[in-house]
């Protein structure tokens, strides 16, 4: 099962329109089922995300990302967004995707999407910790070409 992370194309538009401040805003990660299909080209706001998981140990809207950082590497012209590994303890849930979004604006129709993680298949936990391990490459890496 190949796990992949992608930025939403309109994330850059939201960033340039000052809708997102990754360092100081309430950036969250939520889990959705295979019933949702992320559209990298047209999805821009949280109200376009469907089929959020529900179950013991999971609260609607997901969890806030902790220890967020933004770093630039001049040798590769990359910007990396990183955070601590998000988790849900004593959770009984099944998810296919994790959606990263800015929860600071007042309504789902104005909460910008940042990126998503495709687990490659359904992932479940039963009365245990559901954890997403962010590897050493960070949550998302963007390249200036």
Q: Residue 34 has which token pair?
A: 């295979």
Torsion of CA 89, 58, 60, 138, to 10 degrees: 40
Pure H helices in the chain: 11-16
CA diameter of the chain: 45
Residue 2 has pLDDT above 80, yes or no: no
**pLDDT tens digits, 77-131:** 999 999 999 999 999 999 999 999 999 999 999 999 999 999 999 999 999 999 9
**pLDDT tens digits, 18-38:** 999 999 999 999 999 999 999
What is the arrangement of strands in the sheet containing 87-102, beginning at the earlier edge strand? 4-7, 113-131, 87-102, 27-32, 63-64
DSSP codes, 89-136? EEEEEEEEEEEEEE--SSSGGG-BEEEEEEEEEEEEEEEEEEE----T
pLDDT of residue 144: 85
């Amino acid at each position: 099962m190949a796990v992949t992370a992608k930025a939403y194309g309109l994330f850059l538009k939201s960033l340039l329109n000052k809708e997102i401040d990754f360092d100081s805003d309430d950036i969250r990660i939520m889990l959705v089922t295979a019933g949702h299909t992320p559209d990298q080209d047209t999805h821009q706001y949280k109200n376009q995300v469907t089929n959020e998981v529900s179950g013991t140990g999971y609260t609607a809207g997901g969890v806030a990302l902790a220890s967020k950082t933004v770093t630039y590497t001049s040798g590769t012209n990359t910007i990396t967004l990183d955070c601590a590994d998000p988790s849900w303890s004593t959770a009984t849930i099944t998810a296919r995707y994790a959606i990263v979004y800015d929860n600071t604006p007042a309504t789902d129709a104005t909460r910008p999407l940042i990126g998503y993680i495709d687990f490659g298949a359904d992932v479940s936990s039963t009365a245990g910790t559901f954890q997403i391990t962010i590897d050493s490459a960070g949550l998302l890496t963007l390249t200036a070409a």
